């Protein structure tokens, strides 16, 4: 027997392999035994089809012929019998046929499948069907059929599948359909009434009447039918037929987008019902025994209705997996509604009016719920109603009125991965510190009123994403992520904390938080309107001027306060316009030039500040001095600190920097505990030369530049140039080579107005002084030494108005 089947299959293969003369038609071996599939596409005439296939194939083979996208205007001139083969399936789609002549179809008594859909037929071709008594499937979909009359289908009394969707049918005659029908598809037509045409179809199993204008099914469906599938959605049904209660074979019922107000308990005796879709109706009430025998139910969609309560109607559904009750009018929901549903995976209660959640009377640990959606309700507190959902992975509580997470609200959710609390009224996440959620990876708490983050992530060991945008966060503790390390499927990652539109995004103190988070495998993300070009904050803040202590330089005679001037020292990290923060705006020539601090020999870390690094060695004495001399500069650092410590306290450091051949004086202060004083640099200028002094007294090899009558500014300027020239000559003598003369002025910065620089105390300066910072104005009484906090604060404020003269 096997050899015979192989031989027949081999013959069928040869029928296609050795027949290239059937071109342009193609041949393929059929999937069934002793079958061949022929396809003719884009031929110019029916005559060409016949000539290509006539007498080319074995008459014993079963032929499935498909003619598509061809011009068959001469269809009535030839016959399918002229091809001389056994035709059992015929497909004639997309040929723009307006009618089917009778002659070509004569003798096709073996045809069991006929498809003439996707043409322009306006009536059922009954004269053709009379020649196909064995026809089982008739497809006339997507044509222009307007009616099914009583005699249209009399020639095919064995048909089981009648497919008539997407036509223009408005009329159905009673008795028009053969009693043998198992599947009837009348969807997407213009039917307003079935007119009793289906009442006698007791063998019918699948009925498609969707997308019509049917308003009533009473008396239209056969009594005690074997109906398994009913597609009646997108109609105008206001109630279900009463005899539906006798159809205990129903498995799938689609009733969505109708006008149903109640099920009238007609589905209570449907033990095989597995899928019921009745969303987008006007349902208001569910009886407690509405689905009394529906223990096979797996999918229940009742969204977009006016249901006020589920009324414990779900309890018989032991196999329910998906329940969608969104967009209803439920005001109170008890978890007891879900008790016993041991197959439940997803419940959607979003877009209701739920104000209160009630816990179940029994433990919910056995409920296998994975996805619970309670968003867009009016919930104020959870009342521990959800505690114990040990299988839950997704919990959506967004767009509610939750003010706080109470102890026990999230207890037992050991598998929870996504928690969405967006758009509530939370003021803190304190309870997350003590509630362990060992698998939570995504936390969404945007659009709340959270103001600080301390140890809120302590109970979230594998957290990877946190959305905190649009809150009021001003404080972030360095301990926030101490117990948290992002892991996804045991793969280490980096915790992403999004802080868009929070006050802290405009706080320059976030610079330090960014570094602390990065050290613990966390990263603060977010953009802020405080920065130009909407830049990522943690990529901008490290480029800001970073000075932990206020730095003030005093220039002049230490013994004569009137000869002293206070200037700020700003040291940029990089001289690059791209790296400067938007706090500093380009205005042209600078008002304040940075004072270049000579290099200091490092003896012991750590640095005092990331930019200005002062390294000191401390011993058990109250004051220690470290002095380093270079060919051109002398720097002395004096430190008063506690004994046996390695940390430089901000209040105990004074640095004195001079430029040879000036003299150096050192002043030591004893700060009070917890006081913070600025770092002060004393630079004492040499005694001014007068007109009576000899030229050589001003410096060897230099002329007297301070002749009588010259202003004090020019005298100081000439003194400085002489000093710099002396330094250059000393360097040349030591190095044994000549160097080009030094530039007269310090390079000027492109940025001159500082809107805001953190931790920097700035002194007033005259806007007219744009040359060298070492020039002194002996007539000005504003060059006083800052001795108190009030004067320091006034100096910082005065910097905001560089165009005004200094205060006296």
DSSP letters of 603-631?
A: -SPPPSSSSS-------SSSEEEEEEE-S
Q: What are the φ and ψ backbone dihedral angles of 798, each rounded to 5 degrees?
A: -65, -25
pLDDT of residue 561: 53
Q: Are 328 and 302 in contact (CB under 8 A)?
A: yes
- pLDDT score recorded for residue 645: 37
**Three-state secondary-structure class, residue 394:** strand
* Measured distance CA(471)–CA(528) in Å, rounded: 13
pTM to 2 decimal places: 0.67
Per-residue confidence (pLDDT) for residue 438, from 0 to 100: 95
In the prediction, which pLDDT does 685 show? 43
Strand partners of residue 565: 555
User: Per the structure block, which two tokens stand in for 663?
Assistant: 């003299």
What's the pLDDT score for residue 30?
76
pLDDT, tens digit, 9 for 90 and up, residues 349-385: 999 999 999 998 777 788 999 999 999 999 999 999 9
- Is residue 294 within 8 Å of residue 271, measured between CB atoms? yes
Residue 550 has which token pair? 């206020």
Q: Write the DSSP assignment of 678-718 as a string of letters.
A: -EEEEEPPPPPP-TTS-GGGG-TT------TT--HHHHHHH
Q: Which residues of the chain have pLDDT under 70?
A: 1-15, 17-19, 531-536, 539-716, 720, 731-808
* Distance between CA atoms of residues 188 and 232, nearest Å: 11
CATH of 426-543, one of 3.40.1000, 1.10.1060, 3.80.10, 1.10.8: 3.80.10
Contact in structure between 34 and 56 (CB atoms under 8 Å): no
Distance CA 728, CA 733 (A): 9
Closest CA to 297 of 322, 327, 332: 322
Q: Is the dihedral of CA 507, 512, 516, 522 positive or negative?
A: positive
What pLDDT score was predicted for residue 613? Answer: 38
pLDDT at res. 598 = 45
Which are the contacts of 200, defined by CB distance < 8 A and separation ≥ 6?
175, 179, 222
Q: What angle do CA 364, 368, 372 make, to 5 degrees?
A: 85
Q: In the chain, which residues fall in CATH 3.80.10?
A: 426-543
Q: What is the pLDDT of residue 515?
A: 87
Residue 558: the pLDDT is 52
Q: What share of the chain is helix, strand, coil (3-state, %, to 5)?
A: 15, 20, 65
């Amino acid at each position: 027997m096997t050899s015979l089947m192989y031989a027949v299959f081999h013959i069928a293969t040869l029928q296609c392999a050795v027949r290239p003369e059937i071109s342009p038609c193609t041949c393929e071996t059929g999937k069934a035994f002793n079958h061949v599939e022929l396809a003719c596409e884009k031929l110019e005439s029916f005559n060409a089809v016949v000539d290509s296939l006539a007498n080319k194939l074995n008459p014993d083979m079963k032929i499935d012929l498909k003619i598509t996208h061809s011009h068959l205007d001469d269809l009535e001139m030839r016959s399918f019998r002229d091809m001389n083969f056994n035709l059992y399936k015929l497909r004639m789609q997309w040929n723009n046929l307006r009618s089917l002549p009778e002659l070509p179809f004569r003798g096709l008594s073996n045809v069991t499948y006929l498809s003439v859909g996707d043409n322009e037929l306006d009536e059922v071709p009954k004269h053709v069907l009379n020649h196909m008594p064995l026809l089982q499937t008739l497809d006339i979909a997507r044509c222009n059929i307007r009616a099914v009359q009583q005699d249209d289908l009399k020639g095919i009394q064995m048909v089981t599948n009648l497919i008539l969707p997407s036509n223009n049918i408005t009329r159905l005659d009673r008795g028009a359909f053969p009693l043998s029908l198992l599947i009837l598809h009348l969807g997407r037509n213009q039917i307003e009434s079935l007119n009793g045409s289906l009442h006698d179809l007791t063998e019918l199993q699948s009925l498609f009447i969707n997308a019509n204008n049917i308003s009533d099914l009473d008396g239209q469906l056969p009594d005690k039918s074997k109906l398994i599938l009913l597609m009646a959605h997108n109609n105008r049904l206001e109630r279900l037929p009463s005899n539906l209660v006798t159809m205990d074979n129903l498995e799938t019922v689609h009733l969505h987008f109708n006008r149903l107000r109640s099920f009238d308990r007609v589905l209570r005796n449907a033990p095989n019902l597995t899928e019921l879709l009745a969303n987008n109706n006007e349902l208001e009430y569910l009886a407690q025994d509405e689905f009394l025998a529906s223990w096979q139910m797996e999918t229940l969609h009742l969204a977009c209705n006016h249901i006020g309560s589920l009324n414990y109607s779900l309890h018989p559904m032991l196999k329910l997996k998906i329940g969608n009750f969104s967009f209803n009018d439920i005001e109170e929901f008890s978890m007891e509604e879900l008790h016993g549903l041991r197959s439940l995976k997803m419940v959607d209660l979003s877009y209701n009016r739920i104000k209160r959640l009630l816990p179940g009377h029994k433990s919910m640990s056995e409920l296998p719920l994975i996805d619970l959606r309670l968003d867009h309700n009016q919930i104020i507190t959870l009342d521990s109603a959800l505690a114990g959902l040990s299988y839950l992975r997704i919990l959506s509580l967004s767009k509610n009125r939750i003010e706080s997470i109470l102890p026990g609200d999230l207890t037992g959710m050991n598998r929870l991965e996504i928690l969405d609390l967006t758009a509530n009224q939370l003021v803190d996440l304190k309870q997350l510190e003590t509630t362990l959620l060992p698998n939570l990876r995504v936390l969404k708490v945007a659009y709340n009123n959270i103001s600080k983050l301390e140890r809120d992530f302590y109970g979230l060991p594998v957290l990877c994403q946190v959305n905190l945008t649009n809150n009021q966060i001003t404080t972030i503790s360095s301990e926030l992520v101490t117990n948290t390390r992002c892991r996804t499927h045991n793969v280490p990652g980096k915790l992403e904390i999004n802080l868009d539109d929070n006050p802290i995004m405009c706080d320059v103190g976030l610079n330090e938080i960014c570094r602390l988070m990065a050290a613990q495998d966390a990263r603060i993300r977010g953009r802020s309107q405080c920065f130009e070009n909407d830049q990522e904050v943690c990529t901008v803040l490290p480029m800001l001027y970073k000075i932990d202590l206020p730095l003030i330089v005093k220039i002049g005679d230490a013994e004569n306060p009137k000869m002293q001037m206070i200037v700020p020292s700003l040291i940029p990290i990089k001289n690059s316009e791209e790296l400067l923060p938007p706090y500093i705006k380009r205005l042209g020539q600078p008002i304040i030039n940075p004072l270049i601090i000579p290099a200091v020999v490092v003896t012991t870390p750590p640095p005092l500040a990331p930019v200005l690094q002062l390294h000191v060695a401390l011993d058990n004495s109250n004051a220690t001095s470290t002095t380093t001399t270079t060919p051109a500069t002398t720097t002395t650092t004096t430190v008063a600190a506690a004994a046996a410590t390695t940390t430089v306290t901000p209040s105990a450091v004074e640095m004195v920097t001079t430029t040879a051949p000036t003299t150096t004086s050192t002043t030591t202060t004893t700060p009070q505990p917890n006081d913070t004083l600025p770092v002060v640099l004393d630079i004492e200028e040499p005694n001014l030369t007068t007109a009576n002094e000899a030229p050589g007294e001003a410096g060897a090899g230099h002329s007297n530049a301070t002749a009588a009558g010259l202003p004090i500014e020019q005298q100081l300027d000439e003194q400085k140039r002489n000093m710099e020239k002396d330094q250059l000559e000393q360097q040349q003598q030591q190095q044994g080579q000549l160097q080009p003369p030094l530039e007269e002025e310090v390079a000027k910065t492109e940025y001159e107005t500082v809107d805001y620089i953190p931790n920097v105390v700035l002194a007033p300066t005259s806007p007219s002084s744009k040359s060298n910072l070492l020039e002194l104005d002996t007539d000005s009484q504003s060059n006083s030494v800052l001795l108190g906090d009030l004067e320091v604060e006034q100096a910082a404020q005065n910097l905001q108005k560089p165009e005004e003269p200094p205060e006296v």
